[in-house]
Amino acid sequence: MKLIAGVDIGNSTTEVAIADIEKELNFLSSSIVRTTGIKGTVENVVGVYNALKEACSNIKVDISQLHAICINEATPVIGDVAMETITQTVITESTMIGHNPDTPGGLGLGIGRTIFIDEIDYVSSTEEVICVIPKSVDFETAARRLNLAFKKGIKVQGAIVQGDDGVLISNRLERKIPIVDEVTHIDRIPMGMVSAVEVAAPGETIKVLSNPYGLATIFNLTPEETKHIIPISRALIGNRSAVVIRTPEGEVKERVIPAGKIILYGTGEKRVAIEEGSEKIIKALKEVWPLKDASGEPGTNVGGMMERVRQVMSELTGQSQGDIKIQDILPVDTFVPQRVQGGLAGEFALENAVALAAMVKTNKLPMENIAAKLQKETGVKVIIGGVEANMAVLGALTTPGTAKPLVILDLGGGSTDSAYINRDGAVKSIHHAGAGEMVTMLINSELGLEDYNLAEEIKKYPMARVESLFNIRYEDGTVCFFQQPLPSNLFARNVVVKGEEMIPIPTRHSLEKIKTIRREAKRKVFITNVIRALEDVAPFNNIRGIEFVVLVGGSALDFEIPEMISDELSRYGIVCGRGNIRGALGPRNAVATGLVISYYNSLRSSKNE
């Protein structure tokens, strides 16, 4: 036997294909493991060795028995280290609570001056007040003192409670008032200030405090002041309860952190403000394409982000920061939770932001270092093969029913690669920043999860609502019943259904909202990149000149991304579907398979010569 191994080092996974080429090309084994380290660095060798070991064990041979190992040219692009959210943060002159507690009490809108419940006996009967109740006062005592105040004619318009006793207090009151509870930092509430408390009926949302003009009416704001409270009203949209308190003038000041401008260098130079959004950035990118480098304004968020990209890559490759060039970026409009200045219960408000994925090109290929280290550890000759996308084309052509000409879209973790092969076998390829890992980042950010692994599960698997201990309703409306009761901690929760496992999603967002965020994240990243890629590789730059597209790579396994891309490309009359590498492996292993085929073809052509 003459065994050849093809190794595809990706952003997320490392894949191996092994074939015997002694007489003819005969594939014997394959494997897949997590990539170790950042793609294109010597840390990848550990993952490569593990993948080779697994593939060899499948056919009961040792790594040392391999004739050669072919690895892909993985170095020119590294997309996963550069994903960072850039936003402009505005802090407004107000304190607010809008955390949607589980147990608000009462109903309606109450406006008055904030006082501690201990001061209630000393309040004038002509003054309207909002009562602040700390945890040290139990619900029965609070209810009794409020009822006494009502009898004395004191105008208690609402209450702010530290504990979760809103309903218990409300049920004992002779007159219903709006009560917001679960206010952790009740000691931060400024006393003697005008405050508004609103609680909506079950199943409804607040209407006055989520309206900037409603807030302007309550607090007698000028048009200029009304502009500043828009972030507050926007943050409260969809809440069942909320409190807004006007702070003493100057206590909380407005502060703006500039997002800055991104500077694109290509056929010309373009400067685009991040606040203008992704559409304007992509338009500017097309005007200077192909991109030679990008940077950001010094002293801004985007400037710091670009420098961090260069610093990380410089440390990993041993090159100077000046030699690190950014060859592509993908901007995506998104929302990020920002902690509210002056908030009393850890409140967050969603703010507009632009997420950026950057693809980095280095001046020299660190693949030579990887090849040298791998050869030393295995004792097997290591060859650096062709460009990823070109190799993926060769692998994709092993899909039954495919033939030249065609386009492959390699949907990976960090980048979206595309290649077009014509009838003569000539290949044109392109790499674009942004893929599966950026989708995960957007989901994690917009849902405020702070749990990358959970965001990854939300991306990859369908969700459901646990309606009872014996049934769930999937996001598409279908119902599934169980003979044994589900764990009680899943009751009335949204869950990710991962095979037999159900993973609870710790967020107050509705199932429909989570589904919308997930699908929008995939659409913004993959549809945008697919169109960009096809415009670059299509004959005469005309997408309608393409007939067949084959999807390969890890993200092609996703349960909805291929259908999204297929629907989009159907508008251009393009036939699109998942690849089935070697008729058995689905969309996986295209590059690794292509590397082996490329080696076999070159060996055969040299013999013929």
The pLDDT, as a whole number, for residue 251 is 47
On whether both 139 and 181 belong to a single domain, the answer is yes
On whether both 183 and 321 belong to a single domain, the answer is no
User: Residue for token digits 């897949």?
Assistant: 32
Is residue 143 within 8 A of residue 164, CB to CB? The reply is: no
The closest alpha carbon to 554, from 11, 7, 5, belongs to 11
The closest alpha carbon to 102, from 18, 197, 179, belongs to 179
At CB < 8 A and 24+ separation, what contacts does 25-31 make?
25/596, 25/597, 25/600, 27/582, 27/593, 27/596, 28/3, 28/58, 28/59, 29/55, 29/56, 29/58, 29/59, 30/55, 30/58, 30/585, 30/589, 30/592, 30/593, 31/55, 31/58
| pTM beyond cutoff 0.95 | no
Q: How far is 553 from 558, CA to CA, in rounded Å?
A: 10
Structure tokens at 556: 């092609």
User: 135 or 255: whose pLDDT is higher?
Assistant: 135
User: Residue for token digits 């950014």?
Assistant: 326
On whether both 102 and 238 belong to a single domain, the answer is yes
Q: How far is 547 from 132, CA to CA, in rounded Å?
A: 68
The closest alpha carbon to 196, from 97, 116, 109, 132, belongs to 109
On whether both 40 and 170 belong to a single domain, the answer is no
User: 263 or 320: whose pLDDT is higher?
Assistant: 263
Look at residue 346 and tell me whether its pLDDT is greater than 70.
no
Q: Does residue 138 form part of some domain?
A: yes
Composition of the chain by helix, strand, coil, percent to 5: 35, 30, 35
On whether both 119 and 210 belong to a single domain, the answer is yes
Out of 361, 385, 419, a domain closes at: 361
In the chain, the amino acid numbered 28 is L
Is residue 93 within 8 A of residue 121, CB to CB? The reply is: no
pLDDT in tens, 81-107: 444 555 554 444 455 555 567 678 899
On whether both 290 and 218 belong to a single domain, the answer is no
Q: Does residue 114 form part of some domain?
A: yes
In the chain, the amino acid numbered 243 is V
The pLDDT, as a whole number, for residue 385 is 82
Work out the number of other CB atoms within 10 angstroms of the CB of residue 540: 6
pLDDT interval class at 341 (50, 70, 90): low
Q: How far is 243 from 577, CA to CA, in rounded Å?
A: 52
Look at residue 310 and tell me whether its pLDDT is greater than 70.
yes
Calculate the alpha carbon distances from 417 to 529, 593, 599 in Å: 9, 16, 21
On whether both 296 and 327 belong to a single domain, the answer is yes
Is residue 394 within 8 A of residue 594, CB to CB? The reply is: yes
On whether both 201 and 313 belong to a single domain, the answer is no
The pLDDT, as a whole number, for residue 89 is 45
Structure tokens at 204: 């409804």
Q: What percent of the chain has pLDDT over 70?
A: 89
Out of 314, 341, 361, a domain closes at: 361
Q: Does residue 369 form part of some domain?
A: yes
Is residue 14 within 8 A of residue 32, CB to CB? The reply is: yes
Which of the 8 DSSP states describes residue 154? -
CATH code assigned at 25: 3.30.420.40
The pLDDT, as a whole number, for residue 158 is 95
Q: HSE of 220 in the Cβ direction (CA atoms, 13 Å)? A: 2
User: 251 or 425: whose pLDDT is higher?
Assistant: 425
On whether both 228 and 169 belong to a single domain, the answer is yes
pLDDT in tens, 26-69: 999 999 999 998 887 888 999 999 999 999 999 999 999 999 99
Q: How far is 232 from 246, CA to CA, in rounded Å?
A: 12
Q: Does residue 467 form part of some domain?
A: no
Could you list the residue range(s) of the whole structural domain that residue 347 is in?
256-361
Look at residue 75 and tell me whether its pLDDT is greater than 60.
no
Q: Does residue 431 form part of some domain?
A: no
The pLDDT, as a whole number, for residue 563 is 95
Is residue 327 within 8 A of residue 265, CB to CB? The reply is: no
Q: Is 38 helix (H, G, I), strand (E, B) or coil?
A: coil
Strand partners, 331: 356
CATH code assigned at 351: 3.90.470.30
Q: Report the run of H or E that residue 227 belongs to, with start and end.
A: helix 223-228
> CA Rg, the chain, in Å?
30
**575-578 and 548-552 as β-strands: parallel, antiparallel, unpaired?**
parallel
pLDDT in tens, 467-519: 999 999 999 999 999 999 999 999 999 999 998 899 999 988 899 999 999 99
Q: Does residue 576 form part of some domain?
A: no
Work out the number of other CB atoms within 10 angstroms of the CB of residue 452: 12
The pLDDT, as a whole number, for residue 552 is 95
Alpha-helical regions (H) of 292-425: 301-317, 367-378, 388-396
**How many domains in the chain?**
3
Q: Is 534 helix (H, G, I), strand (E, B) or coil?
A: helix
Strand partners, 129: 113, 156
On whether both 158 and 67 belong to a single domain, the answer is no
On whether both 211 and 332 belong to a single domain, the answer is no
pLDDT in tens, 176-200: 999 998 887 788 788 888 899 999 9
Return the C-alpha torsion angle 396, 399, 404, 408, nearest 10.
-30
Strand partners, 220: none
Q: What is the average pLDDT value for the chain, to the nearest integer?
A: 86
Q: Does residue 109 form part of some domain?
A: yes
CATH code assigned at 188: 3.50.30.70
Q: Does residue 6 form part of some domain?
A: yes
User: 99 or 71: whose pLDDT is higher?
Assistant: 71
- Rounded to the nearest 5°, which phi and psi values hold at 342? 85, 5
User: 596 or 354: whose pLDDT is higher?
Assistant: 596
The closest alpha carbon to 538, from 566, 574, 568, belongs to 574
On whether both 103 and 237 belong to a single domain, the answer is yes
Task: Name which of 239-253, 269-283, 377-391, 511-525 the model is least confident about.
Answer: 239-253
pLDDT in tens, 553-590: 999 999 999 999 999 999 999 989 999 999 999 999 99
pLDDT interval class at 335 (50, 70, 90): confident
Structure tokens at 221: 């704001």
Q: What is the mean pLDDT of residues 435-460?
A: 91
Q: How far is 570 from 548, CA to CA, in rounded Å?
A: 11
pLDDT in tens, 515-553: 999 999 999 999 999 999 999 999 887 888 898 999 999
Q: Is 355 helix (H, G, I), strand (E, B) or coil?
A: strand
